[in-house]
Structures are given as structure tokens and as C-alpha cells.
Amino acid sequence: MSDILTLIQDRRSTRAPFDPDHPIAREDVQRILEAARWAPTAHNMQNFEILVVDDKDVLAQLGNIKSRPSAVFIRENFAQLAFSEEELRKRKTGIMGAMFPLAWRTPGADFDEIARTSEPAPLRETMKDCPLALIVLYDPSQRAPASEGDVLGILSLGCAMENMWLMAQSLGIGFQIMSTFSGAVIERQVKQILAIPDLLKISFAVRLGYPKSAAFRYLRVRRDVADFAHHNRFGSRFEPGAAAPSEKANRSHP
């Protein structure tokens, strides 16, 4: 098992097409599910179900579902885009605009019109030949106690996601979140194909597999610890590597 911090730093979305003829071993799927099982959840509610889809015919049915991007997604996505690696490194947040269609990254574009006139795209373009997909479900009628908007419940789903992602990373398995599965239009059709009960909602889906060729390497940026960590009072920056006052005192008075 890799050092945990190295594993976290190496984790990335695998956007390359997968080899549909290179299945994921059942024992590795079990390890990924076991990682989700031990994720921390609010009040230990464990409010999730995970549907493993590896039947090629079922995957093909899901891939045939078509939908258009929403104007809200395009507009809010645009706000996160950088248009050069230099800009992205300077901002330390967001993603490269080149990863999206030209129309989606054109300043001043009418995103409502773009969304309205976009040709519906099949879900297979997102799934990219994955040999296995995980559909993560939850029951919205079950709320973590006193958690307005079920913030703690949603946080718990994120913990399950991260646990599965890190386990897949440790096993050398490509992993990418497919948030489009939770969109209303797609969700209805996915639930029908997979016989998912009406009371459950799709939180997110994941495509897993092994890239057909070397995975595309894209620039990843993060804020420095000093950019977001505060020490004792908000606005007083935490300095990584600096000893806390009590530690200095202990060293000077053995």
C-alpha cells in the first residue's frame, strides 16, 4: 500500500477511454466496495446503496441515453475555467478551458442558446468504454439528525466516494466521477433500466477501468496550505513547518 499522502496526491480523474475487454477482477471490486463500507458517515447511518454494473448489454443501454448540457452547468463551469497553464498556476483553483468545447469557453457567449441548440449526446461519450460502472444511491427521506439540507448526509456520500477513489488508485484502476447521472433527465432513464426504486436518488456514478493507452496527463493545481489554513484566529496564517509556541517552549525548557 502506498504512503497515504502520496496516494492522495497521485489521485486523479482518469479521463481516457478504457479498454472494455480488460475487466476489473471481482476481488478488486470487493476491495473498492469494502473501502466504501468503512467510510465515516453521519451517526453511522450508512445511507447509501451501490449498484455494480458490469454487464456489457446493460452498459450499452446506459450508453444509449441521450441528453443536452444545462445552461446552468455551462455558465457556472465557465466561471471555473483558466485559458492558459500560466493562468491556472497563478489562480491555483479551477481547470483548463481546453478540456471543454470551444462554445463553452467563449467569453460573452449566450450559454442559454448554446444549451438549447446543442445536439443531444449519448451517455457513451461520458462512459468511454468503461467495463464497469458504480451507481451510488441514497434515500433522501433519511436525514442526518439536525442537519439542515442534510449537509452531513451529503458529506458522508463524499467520504464514501473518496474511500473508493483512493482504493482504486492504490490498485492501479482508473476512476472518474460521472455527475451527469444525477441529472433529472438521465436519472429517470437510468433508474428505469436498472430497476432502481423510486424512493432512491442517484448521488453520482463512477466509471472504472484500465486506459487503452497512456492516460492523458493534465495540469493539476492546488492552493498552498498557507492560502487556506489559519492559526488560532481567522486571518492569522498557519505557517507549515513552524513549531507551535508550546512546542518551542518545551524545547527551550527541557
Q: pTM here?
A: 0.90
Beta bridge partners of 52: 134
The grid coordinates listed for 210 are 484500465
How high is the pLDDT of residue 241?
73
The CB density around residue 127, as the number of other CB atoms within 10 Å, is 24
What is the mean predicted confidence (pLDDT) over 228-254?
A: 69
Q: In Å, how far are 96, 179, 248 from 253, measured between CA atoms?
A: 51, 55, 9
Which CATH fold would you assign to the domain 4-68+119-217? Answer: NADH Oxidase (3.40.109)
Closest CA to 177 of 208, 222, 212: 208
Q: In Å, how far are 21, 74, 130 from 18, measured between CA atoms?
A: 9, 26, 5
Residue range 20-61, pLDDT digits in tens = 999 999 999 999 999 999 999 999 999 999 999 999 999 999
Instruction: Between 3 and 138, name the one with better pLDDT.
Output: 138
Q: How far apart are CA 82 and CA 86, in angstroms?
A: 9
* Torsion 210-74-228-216 (CA) sign: positive
What is the mean predicted confidence (pLDDT) over 195-219?
A: 92
Closest CA to 140 of 205, 204, 52, 48: 48
Residue range 85-140, pLDDT digits in tens = 999 999 999 999 999 999 999 999 999 999 999 999 999 999 999 999 999 999 99
Domains of the chain, by residue range, sit at: 4-68+119-217, 223-254
